[in-house]
Amino acid sequence: MNKLLELRNVTLKYQTPNDEITAIENLSFNCNDGDFVSLIGPSGCGKTTVLSLLAGLITPSSGSILFDGERLSKSNDNLGYMLQKDHLFPWRTIEKNVFLPLEIKKINTQENREYAISLLEKYGLKEFKKRYPDQLSGGMRQRAALIRTLSSKPKLLLLDEPFSALDYQTRLSVCDDVYRIIKAERKTAVLVTHDISEAISMSDKIIVLTNRPAQVKSILYPKLVGDSPLSRRESKEFGTWFEKVWKELH
Amino acid sequence: MKNKNQLSRDRILYLRKIKRDNVLVWTMRFALLIIIVGVWEVLATFNIIDSFISSSPSRIAKTIKELFVENNLLKHIGVTMYETVVGFLIAVILGYFIALLLWWSERIRRILEPYIVVLNSLPKIALGPIIIVWFGSGSKAIIFMAVLIGIIVAIMTMLNGFLSTDKNKILLLKSMGANKIQILIKLVIPGSLPTLISMLKISVGMAWVGSIMGEYLVSRAGLGYLIVYGGQVFKLDLVMASTVVLCVLATFMYAMVALLERFIIKFKMK
């Protein structure tokens, strides 16, 4: 399969008035087209920093990041970033929120708007497109946030603990929703999480990171029966995999 | 869902209670005003208080009427209103743009910080003599005073509003490849609209402080002038009457801003 993303010996140091901190050291991994990859690691190990690197928000101190075989540039139109909270703008309707990346990237054409609307319709937010975010439930808002991420047709989605702000029930169903949408749209995704079950139930590939400075500790390929995170959670092997990841983390 | 005509008993009682509470509050408001005015008037009529010093509602009413007919009250109102509104607009608009500049550049913000702190803590009236020398004794000096008093608060309120923009929302826009102008237009300005409204409300009050204080220092017309003049010649009726007119005008201007607020919210939630 085609390598969409490739990190080669990426190191990131950043300066504070008191110290120089090495957040990431010699980090290397690949991500194939269509993969769902999870980054999991102890808290504070720099998981989010890895995403910021992938999003082009910061540049590595050394090493290289290749996207589709080319060096990652600052304004990469093929990326969509999704954060913990939905961060929908309360003064914009759902529809206008979904158009936001189109406006920013100056590709706000009739065709692209229609595509965004079609996503809203396909994923059950048709009646809500003229509503404001505070009129929607937490789960629907997160779904709208995902559609906003998808509206500019990115190849790679970066998900930074996108479910952690939701309560448990909503979390399971939104997790299912997001997985279904990402797979249906054939997107590649990198998920950062500290939730082992979430990582196992969603990913083709789990990258376990060490304590800071973050390095790859091990890579696991969970193979579970089931076509959705919920059904995977119910499969027999789930417990075994949970233990495996748990041991890697501790 | 239940039809509107078939409200439950509890609902009807609840709505009735709200309505009763509102009526009570408004009744008490007027009652309080009538009691204050009434007691004042009675005390003055029976010479329990000296109405030469404390004036009385009837004398105030008479004075306002006289002012209106003989002394061109409308001209005085016009002068003060002009100074206040112009001072308000300059302070608010200039303040908004200076706050934008300070948001834009952290370096400029750090350089100017001590100056703003000093200007904020300085009692602006101390600059009165300087202002008179520079701007003379007309409306210009008074407007300058109003701007001086209003602009610092306007800048600081707005800057706080701009700076409290959610960092993660900025991150989100950056991940879409947004530049600083886009972040400003798409996020910071619309997101700080509530701050703008509260800044306008504070600035209305500040503009009145500035214009009246300015008129105390230098002026030949305006409500502040009437108040000071009345004090100097010991015509307390004139002082009280001007103050009452001032109360009405200040409330009116605040109400205009409140109306603007409602309009903005309605427009936004259209």
Average pLDDT value for chain B: 90
CB A89 within 8 A of CB A109: no
Q: What is the pLDDT of residue B2?
A: 47
- On chain A, the residues whose CB falls within 8 A of the CB of B174 are 57
The residues spanned by each domain of chain A are 1-78+157-167+189-250
Query: Which helix (DSSP H) or strand (DSSP E) does residue A143 occupy?
Result: helix A138-150
- The answer to whether A145 faces chain B, any CB pair under 8 Å, is no
Q: Looking at the complex, report in whole angstroms how far the Cα of residue B264 sits from the nearest Cα belonging to chain A.
A: 12
**Alpha helical stretches, state H, B46-136:** 51-54, 57-70, 73-104, 106-121, 128-135
Question: What residues does B234 pair with on adjacent strands?
Answer: none
Distance CA A202, CA A37 (A): 8
As a whole number of Å, the CA-based R_g of chain B is 25
- On chain B, the residues whose CB falls within 8 A of the CB of A106 are none
- Please name the fold of domain B58-268: MetI-like fold (1.10.3720)
CB A59 within 8 A of CB A249: no
Euclidean distance between the first and the last CA atom of chain B, given in angstroms as a whole number: 26
List the structure tokens of A62.
């050394």
- C-alpha distances in Å from residue A216, one per residue of A163, A210, B214: 24, 6, 70
Residue with tokens 């080669």: A8
Kindly report, residue by residue over B129-154, the tens digit of the pLDDT.
888 889 887 888 999 999 999 999 99
Question: What residues does B270 pair with on adjacent strands?
Answer: none
CB A140 within 8 A of CB A125: yes
Query: Angle at the Cα of B119 (from B250 to B257), degrees rounded to 5?
Result: 25
Percent of chain B with pLDDT over 70: 97
Residues of chain A with pLDDT under 70: 1, 74-76
The residues spanned by each domain of chain B are 4-49, 58-268
Question: Is this complex scored with an ipTM above 0.85?
Answer: yes
Best interface-test mutation with A: which of B167, B170, B172, B180 has the largest number of A CBs within 10 A?
B172
CATH code of the domain occupying A1-78+157-167+189-250 = 3.40.50.300
3-state secondary structure A145-173: HHHHHHCCCCCEEEEECCCCCCCHHHHHH
Kindly report, residue by residue over B157-210, the tens digit of the pLDDT.
999 999 999 999 999 999 898 899 999 999 999 999 999 999 999 999 999 999
Kindly report, residue by residue over B197-250, the tens digit of the pLDDT.
999 999 999 999 999 999 888 878 889 989 998 889 888 889 999 999 999 999
Query: Which helix (DSSP H) or strand (DSSP E) does residue A27 occupy?
Result: strand A20-32
